[in-house]
Structure 1
Amino acid sequence: MNNDIVPGFDEDRDDSLKISLDKLDDVENGVLITLNGYIDTYNSVYFQKQIGKVISAGKYNLIFGCSSLNYVSSTGIGSFTSFLKLVKPKGGDIVLMNIQPKVYEVFQLLGFSQFFNIKSNMADALGYFTQGGENVSVSAFPKVVSCPVCSRRLKATKSGRFRCSDCKSIIAIDQSGHVFLG
């Protein structure tokens, strides 16, 4: 099926990272790239080669489905950055969707979270492209959240990792305002 969207895509495989493609009918030159596994130094060459095939096939508007992406190293983030550099001059863009909190934290720690369009659902990801690259979702912040350990109400002005003022637990708040133990 991937070969129907990008000829020759399924010729290469890697057990640590499964990549599947779905055509996006509502987005010109768009494709949903679902990632399952992890991206590190050892499989990043495979990852770059596969996404390079997608871009070479004229797909410049990429939505990466990351709900099953368990880990991304700094090398993997570098791969995403190189894809962005390839599609931007062609009028394309990248959206990262459903990033797990641990993976999002790596993007934040390395200072890359502001370079990428990160959305929490398909409607917002598609909306980014169909609304001309504008953010169509309203910011979740400031927001009052409850500590998952002691239920203390805390005010969050942005996403990130914080320490509860009562129980001192570390909590993570994603860009959508969801709270996790961090």
Structure 2
Amino acid sequence: MNNNAIIPGFDEEKDDSLKIRLEKISEIENCVVLYLNGYIDTYNSSFFQKRVSKVVESGYTRLVFNCGALNYVSSTGIGSFTAFLKTVKPKGGDVVLLEIQPKVYEVFQLLGFSQFFNIKDSLADSIQFFKTSGTEVKSEVFPKIFACPICSKKLKATKAGRFRCSECKTILAIDNNGQVFLG
């Protein structure tokens, strides 16, 4: 199935530096996978934003970005992902990043954005996330007691975010699911 069959007029504009292929996920309402191939930087980020805005305007609010063939994202590109998240969240949607390359993930981490996104390893994990995200009770996760991964001090997190270990001063991040990362 081609992109125009999913969203009429999607392929009217093209950019050789970033190719986007769409795949509708029929088992999840308003869900689409965007396969990204190439890179996202200052020069093509407006193209990227226009294409994804067209997807959201067509009613898709559950976006899975398959980043397996995305070999570079600048801070401007990460800003685009953040804008999409802000657009779809109020509509009951969400953004999942899939098969993210280590060097691309590093940029998300360096800029402190990795904690805001749902990052999954497979399409099946992404589909499962959207199947359960409507029924999950987030309040069960917090407050969470956990051990610092560096010094093993017992810590308590009342909500998702970044903070410093009171013992060893390591910066940690905890996501909405209660997973702890160095951050």
| TM more than 0.5 | yes
Q: Summarize the alignment of residues 81-92 of structure 1 with structure 2, pairs less than 5 Å apart.
A: 81-92=82-93
Shift of 1:19: 0.2
Q: Give 1:12 shift.
A: 0.2
Q: Which amino acid aligns with 1:127?
A: Q
Which runs of 5 or more residues in structure 2 are unaligned?
A: 137-146, 148-183
Equivalence map 1:24-173=2 (5 Å): 24-132=25-133
Aligned residue identity for 2:26: D
Alignment-mate amino acid for residue 80 of structure 1? F
SS of the residue corresponding to residue 131 of structure 1 reads: helix
1:97 corresponds to which letter in structure 2?
L
Q: Tell me how far 1:43 sits from its aligned partner.
A: 0.1
Q: Distance in 2 between matches of 1:7 and 1:78?
A: 26
**What secondary structure sits across from 1:33 in the alignment?**
strand
Name the CA distance, whole Å, in 1 between partners of 2:126 and 2:97.
Answer: 8
Partner of 1:17: 18
> Offset of 1:57 from its aligned partner?
0.2
> How many angstroms apart in 2 are the aligned matches of 1:13 and 1:2?
12
CA distance in 2, matches of 1:76, 1:63: 16
Q: CA deviation at 1:98?
A: 0.2
The offset of 1:123, in angstroms, is 1.2
Q: What's the TM-score once normalised by structure 2's chain length?
A: 0.72
Q: CA deviation at 1:81?
A: 0.3
Secondary structure of the residue that 2:59 maps to in structure 1? coil
Deviations 1:115-158 (A, max 9, x none): 00000111111110011255xxxxxxx9xxxxxxxxxxxxxxxx
CA deviation vs aligned residue, 1:91-113 (integer Å, no higher than 9, x gap): 00000000000000000000000
Structure 1 CA distance for aligned equivalents of residues 7 and 35 of structure 2: 14
Q: In structure 1, the residue corresponding to 2:81 is in which secondary structure?
A: helix
C-alpha RMSD over aligned residues: 1.5
- Please give the secondary structure, in 2, of the residue aligned with 1:118: strand
| SS across alignment from 2:129 | helix
2:97 and 2:27 map into 1 onto residues whose CA distance is: 17
Offset at 1:41? 0.1
AA in 2 matched with 1:86: T
Which stretches in structure 1 are left out of the alignment for 5+ residues? 135-141, 143-182
After the TM superposition, which segments of 4 or more aligned residues of structure 1 sit over 4 Å from their partners? none
SS at match of 1:114: helix
Aligned residues: 136
